[in-house]
Amino acid sequence: MRITFVGFGLLASSVAAAIKQAKLPTVVRAVSSPATLSRAKELGLADEFFGYDEIKDWVPGSDMILLCAPILHILHTIENLAQMDLSALSSQSKILVSDIGSTKVEICKAGAKLPKPFVFVGSHPMAGSEKRTLEYNDPSIFENAYWFVCPPEGVEEADYKSLLDLISFVGANAVVFPPEHHDRTMAWVSHMPQMLSSTLAASMPERLVKPSYQHYAGRAFRDMTRIAASGWNMWHDIAVTNRDQTVLALREVREGLDKTIEAMDHLQVVSDGKPAADDRAGELESVFKAGNEGRASLFEKGRNAAAAFSEITVPLKDVPGALLQVLSPLAQNNLNIRDIELMKVRENIAGTLLLAFKTPEEARRAVQILKLLGYDVKER
C-alpha cells in the first residue's frame, strides 16, 4: 500500500505517525514544502518525499492520494490531476483520491470529474487542533471521532474500502454522508460558531477595551471566544466554499438573538420580591429552557462522539502534584485515559478532574482504585 499525502501538516502527519507506530506494511509518501519535508524526514514520518510541483513523480505508484492542504489548494490539485498526461498511469487500474477538506460540495463536484484511473471520494475527519504543523502530530487524534465520507453517485463501497480501512485503523468512525448534507450541517455546528466567536471578540466596545476591563472576563467569555484565535487563511477557504449555508445559519441565530432581546426588553424590575404584574419573564425563561434542551441533546448517550465514553469525576486539592497523584496509579494499573478535562478551576480552591474511559469496566476499575486512595470519585 502506497499512500501519498499532499500537504503534510497536523492531520496528515498524525495519520502517518499512526502508520509508523503500528509498523504497517505501508509506504508513506509526503508532498509538501522543502522545510516540512526535511522535518518529516528527521522525524521518520515518511518514506518518500516530493515537492508540490513534482506531480509527475508522486502520482504514479500511488494507491491512495489524500489531499490534506487548505481547501483552495485541494481544488487546485484536483485540477492539476485532471490535466495530467494519463499515459504515465496506464499500468494502474485505480488510484483512489480523497481529501480532508472542511467543506465538501465544491470539492466533490471537482473530484467527480477526474478521469480514470482516478476514483474520487471526498472525506472530512472531525478532528484537529489549533496547532497546525507536523511538530504536533498525534497518532491518537482521530480516536472516537467522526470521519465523513462523501462518495459520488455510482461509486461502490468496494472502490473506497482502503479509505474506510484507514479511517478504522486510526480509531475514527466513518459516516457516509451526501456532500450537501455535510456542508449544511457543518455550517451550523462549525462554521457559524467560528463566525460568531470572531465577531464576539471583535465587537468588544471601547468602554471595555480602553480601561482594559476585558481582563476581568470569566470562563464563559473566554470559552466563547477561544476559537476567535483561529487563522484567517484556512477560514477564508471555508467561507468562500460554504458561504450560503453559513450565512443562512448566521441569520437563523440572529433571529434567535432578536427574540432574546425582545424578551429582555419586556422584563420588569422586581419589587418587594415579587415580579411586576406585566412582567414577561416567561418569554426569557422559554429561551433558557430551549437552550437547556439544545445543549443536552449534544450529549445524548452515544452522541457527540462516534462512541460514548464512560466518565468519572475526581475532586482535586490545589497542591503541587495533585494531577500526578491521580493519574499515576491509573497508569500503573494499565488504565488508558481517553480524554481528560480540568473543570471549575480557580486559584486556591479545589478543581474537578473529568476522566473518560473507553468502557464502563475501565471506569469502574478507576473508581475502585481512586476510592481506595481516599478520593471522592463519582461516575458521571
- Distances in Å between the Cα of 225 and the Cα atoms of 51, 190, 288, 300, 345 are 37, 14, 21, 25, 18
Same domain for 131 and 49, yes or no, is yes
- Taking alpha carbons only, the member of 90, 55, 56, 88 closest to residue 73 is 55
225 with 362, same domain: the answer is: no
Number of other CB atoms surrounding residue 66 within 10 Å: 23
Q: How far is it, in rounded angstroms, from Cα 38 to Cα 44?
A: 10
Q: Residue 279's pLDDT is what?
A: 65
pLDDT, one tens digit per residue, over 114-169 is 999 999 999 999 987 767 799 999 998 998 899 999 999 889 999 999 999 999 99
pTM for the structure as a whole: 0.81
Q: Are residues 324 and 289 both part of a single domain? A: no
Query: For residue range 215-272, what is the model confidence (pLDDT) as tens digits?
Result: 999 889 999 999 998 889 889 999 999 999 999 999 999 999 999 999 898 887 766 6
Domain count, the chain: 4
Q: Is the peptide bond before 117 cis (omega within 30 degrees of 0)?
A: yes
- pLDDT average, residue stretch 80-96: 93
Cα separation of 352 and 180, whole Å?
A: 41
Instruction: Tell whether 37 and 151 lie within a shared domain.
Output: yes
C-beta atoms surrounding 10 within 10 Å: 20
pLDDT for residue 34: 97
Mean pLDDT of 49-74: 97
Which of 250, 256, 254 is CA-nearest to residue 283? 256
- Higher per-residue confidence, 65 vs 380: 65
Q: What percent of the chain has pLDDT over 90?
A: 73
Cβ–Cβ under 8 Å, residues 227 and 195:
no
Cell representation of residue 364? 469502574
Residue-level length of the chain: 380
Q: What is the CATH number of the domain that holds 96?
A: 3.40.50.720
Q: How far is it, in rounded angstroms, from Cα 94 to Cα 344? A: 53
List, in sequence order, every beta strand (DSSP E) within the chain: 2-6, 27-31, 48-50, 64-67, 95-99, 118-120, 122-125, 146-150, 173-176, 310-315, 339-343, 352-357, 378-379
Task: In whole angstroms, give the CA distance from residue 145 to residue 305.
Answer: 6
| pLDDT, the chain, mean | 91
My answer on whether 209 and 328 are in the same domain is: no
Between residues 275 and 312, the one the model is more confident about: 312
The grid coordinates of residue 57 equal 513523480
Collapsed DSSP state (helix, strand, coil) of residue 221: helix
Measured distance CA(351)–CA(303) in Å, rounded: 26
If DSSP codes are grouped into helix, strand and coil, which group holds residue 314?
A: strand
Q: Measure the CA–CA gap between 70 and 7, rounded to whole angstroms.
A: 8
Residues 6 or more apart whose CB falls under 8 angstroms from that of 176 comprise 148, 149, 150, 151
- Residue 166 · residue 24 · CB < 8 Å: no
Domain boundary among 246, 275, 304: 304
116 and 36 both lie in a single domain:
yes
- The reply to whether 21 and 122 lie within a common domain is yes
Q: Is the pLDDT of residue 31 over 90?
A: yes
Please give the helix or strand (H or E) that residue 202 lies within, else none. Answer: helix 192-202
Q: Are residues 102 and 76 in the same domain?
A: yes
H or E element at residue 201: helix 192-202
**pLDDT tens-place string over residues 295-342:** 888 877 655 555 567 889 898 877 888 899 999 999 999 999 988 887
Listed residues 262, 277, 294: the one ending a domain? 262
Query: Are residues 38 and 90 both part of a single domain?
Result: yes
Same domain, 80 and 34: yes
23 and 107 both lie in a single domain: yes
**Residue 154 or residue 74, greater confidence:** 74
CATH of the domain at 203: 1.10.3660.10
Q: Give the C-alpha separation, 192 to 189, whole Å.
A: 7
Where a domain ends, among 229, 262, 295? Answer: 262
Q: 317 is in which domain, residue-wise?
A: 310-379
Residue 340 belongs to domain with CATH number: 3.30.70.260
The pLDDT assigned to 347 comes to: 44
Q: Decide if pLDDT at 349 tops 70.
A: no
Q: Are residues 75 and 117 in the same domain?
A: yes
* pLDDT at 344 > cutoff 80: no
Beta-bridge mates of residue 120: 97
- Angle 32-57-8 (CA atoms, 0-180°, nearest 5)? 20
